[in-house]
Amino acid sequence: MTTTKEKLVLIGNGMAGVGTIEQILKLGGNYEITIFGSEPHPNYNRIMLSYVLDGSKTMEDIILNDLNWYEDHNITLHTGTTVVRIDEAAGQVITDTGMAVPYDRIIIATGSNSFILPIPGCDKQGVVGFRDIADCDAMLAAAKQYRRAAVIGGGLLGLEAAKGLVNLGMDVTVVHLMEDLMERQLDRSASSMLQAELTRQGVKFAMGKQTVELTGGERVNGLRFSDGTDLQADFVVMAVGIKPNTELARASGITVNRGIVVDDYLQTSIKNVYSVGECTEHRGLCYGLVAPLFEQGLVLAKHLCGVAGNAYEGSIVSTKLKISGVDVFSAGDFQETAEHTVISTKDDWKQTYKKILLKNNIIVGAVLFGDVTESASLQKLVKQGAEMTDEIYAEVMGSGCCGNGEAKKGISVETMKDEEIVCGCNGVTKKAIVDAVTENGFTTLDEIKACTGATRSCGGCKPVVEQILQFVLGDSFQQSAKQGICGCTSLSRDEIVAEIQAKGLRTTKEVMNVLDWKQEEGCSKCRPAVNYYLGMIYPDTHVDEKESRFVNERMKANIQKDGTFTVVPRMYGGVTTPEELKRIADVSIKYDVKVVKVTGGQRLDLIGVKKEDVPKVWEELAMPSGYAYAKALRTVKTCVGSQFCRFGTQDSLGMGALLERKYERLDFPAKFKIAVNGCPRNCAESCTKDIGIVGNDGGWEIFIGGNGGIKPRIADMFCKVKTDEELVEMCSAVMQYYRETGNYLERTSEWVERMGLEQIQTVILNNETNRRELAARIDFALSQVSDPWEKMLDDTETRTALFEKTTV
């Protein structure tokens, strides 16, 4: 008998809400889950926004759960959609688009908004908060156009924003009302050390200043302070605090004070409606840090799954500053009073500071600067309300030693309680990590990260996770340190390929079974990789496993934030015909395509195709796919070359079309782009492509390893050739060598740096036999994926005909 699942709706696609859903899934909760998120992104890590701002990470790097994760867990996700009201009587949630979705239970996790000072000029252009990726984008854009920035607020977010803007080349001043930075988390000593260090790193400060007006016309050009002084600024970041986002709750008749009021099981004043995260008020407190939000989520998840667990009794907060080069930590009480006993040490030479506060000999707070090695231990001691002993003093303050005379390294994880949270960013308990080792046989940090989420965010819990691993594994810990391509295996890419060849493994399931994968079905990271390696090794016999493909590849189109798809037909070398353009227009009108966009790859994107219409769109276009979704050849960009340009020396249009027709549909480790220029003026931008080709009077120049994306890289000069035949052979050899040695998802820009340009040249340029064998292997692989009319033949007649076909 089939049991109907209860409908669980999560309102808010952030860390707190999705963290709760993750816990529900781990506990075996039997719900039909729908998630609404106002932002046009899957779940990402807000803790890492400062790293996006300083350029050390990209948006892709901070995604916690990609679109495949939602699909794999049968979760319906609505991005860019805001729920505006809960209709309790009808049992529905109502969105800003008029959508009505039924529910049995609701989790509200709408988070918080940046608090914008209500002062004259606060609505001018160039004034932003710092709360989400859109704010990061605004800062990145401002840094390209403007020089002077002001950050109002010397708290955690303000300092992260300031350091990020400094790294982007801006002249940044932090404006703070108080005389001490982070006065809610640090004492005066740590605050002054922090200010001195940030000053050394280029941040300026205006302390004790109250901003009363933002000056300028439509765009801000300065700040005016209460003492009558001014500060010039072309860009202003407001980081003076956050306010719980309670609009939905108020509109739905839910009890709200500062936040959405909940009981000890996170239930609101409406039955079956719960709330977690920054929007939530529990026992009069709202929490703006991550660890309490996951503690709430764990309690709620157990409650919704009918698992016995303790009620939520509030959290002891701790703070860890995430600015590069500055390590600061505080937990519990940090400002001493007459009631406190103070234990402290300060080293001006090494720029370290440590303070522990006791009340009646109970550890109630701590502050660390410069060296935060003991942060996890101190956080645990504060949370437990541990009594100070000589042993703890020696361990934490670093003056004690073990029986063998070596300095002790923190508190033993053996004393930690099972339900104690180790990873505050993702709400991972000690028990979850121990279970991952004892029940699943995981032995490495990568495996623990993949299974539990611990260490996948700020990484601050990594030392404690390692201690737990070492405690559980004992002497075998060191032998288990080798990391594999993902947490499912300790095998590297080269080891997997070697085992496939040695053992004659033919399917992904066979590989995972024979090679003792930790997770029987693998994960979204290793399944596509193994599928690619099998196809590369056995081009003639491997049956492509569609279930191992990403959703875009399965649909043959790119999914967009609203759930529709972008269809991209191929235009060889950027050339099309009036007939093809008419079909594109007719199909776009018939299937209500929202936008037809001319792309940088010289083709047209049909954006906004409904999922159910994608197959019909492809059928009626009657054009090959541009493979915009695939780890394959995406585009061959061309200039008009010698056919039309007075500077052109080579037929770039013809060569571009030839190369695109030759290599289309063949899988690569990552997406692959080519450009062909008819002369050195580089109109097709060969310098930023995986293979860039430049024509000159004497033949062709070949460049490899370029990238114009998130991590730009100028291509390296690889070689010069005289004939078209030599050019094709050289491209074939480079591409096949990359196919055979590249890590899955590794772009050629990374591959060239890892392998070394000289090594690639030695294998291909300096060894004619190798080069021809590589070219032969790619031709064999191409023969397995191309239709006969697409094959490239060597005779001049066929090549000439192809060139003429491309001529405008």
Q: In angstroms, rounded to a whole number, what is the distance separating the alpha carbons of residues 482 and 484? A: 7
Supply angle C-alpha 282, 284, 288, rounded to 5: 65
Binding site, annotated residues for siroheme: 683
What is the residue type of 87?
D
- At residue 92, the pLDDT reads 96
CA distance 300 to 274: 8
Tell the residue number behind the tokens 């109630």, with chain if given.
Answer: 364
Cβ-contact 706, 750 below 8 angstroms: no
Nearest partner of 282 among 262, 302, 309, 296, judged by Cα:
262
Instruction: Give the residue numbers of the binding site for [4Fe-4S] cluster.
Output: 639, 645, 679, 683
Q: Quick check: 277 and 296 in contact, CB under 8 A? A: yes
Q: What integer pLDDT is reported at residue 799 of this predicted model?
A: 39
- Nearest in space to 671 (alpha carbons), one of 707, 646, 698, 625: 707
According to DSSP, residue 131 is labeled: S
- Which residue from 688, 687, 634, 623 is spatially nearest to 663, judged by alpha carbons? 634
Cα angle 400, 403, 407; round to 5:
40
The confidence score (pLDDT) of residue 404 equals 37
Cβ(535)–Cβ(512) below 8 Å:
no
SS3 (DSSP) at 345: strand
pLDDT score at 486: 78
Cα Rg of the chain, angstroms: 30
* Amino acid making up residue 147: R
Angle at 204 between CA 198 and CA 206, to 5 degrees: 120
For 404-462, the three-class secondary structure string (H helix, E strand, C coil) is CCCECCCCCHHHCCCCCEEECCCCEEHHHHHHHHHCCCCCCHHHHHHHHCCCCCCCCCH
Spans in the chain with pLDDT lower than 50: 1, 399-410, 479-481, 787-808
* Residue positions forming the annotated binding site: 639, 645, 679, 683
- Going by their DSSP bridges, the two strands 565-567 and 604-609 should be labelled as antiparallel
User: CB under 8 Å to 583, separation ≥6 — which residues?
Assistant: 620, 621, 622, 623
- Strand-pair category, 204-207 with 171-176: parallel
Name the 3-class secondary structure at 105: strand
Q: Identify the structural domains of the chain with CATH numbers, from first to last.
A: 6-112+244-305 (3.50.50.60), 127-240 (3.50.50.60), 327-411 (3.30.390.30), 421-480 (1.10.10.1100), 493-549 (no CATH), 550-630 (3.90.480.10), 632-808 (3.30.413.10)
pLDDT the model gives residue 401: 39
The SS3 assignment for 617 reads: helix
Q: What is the pLDDT of residue 797?
A: 47
Amino acid at 610: K
pTM score, whole prediction: 0.59
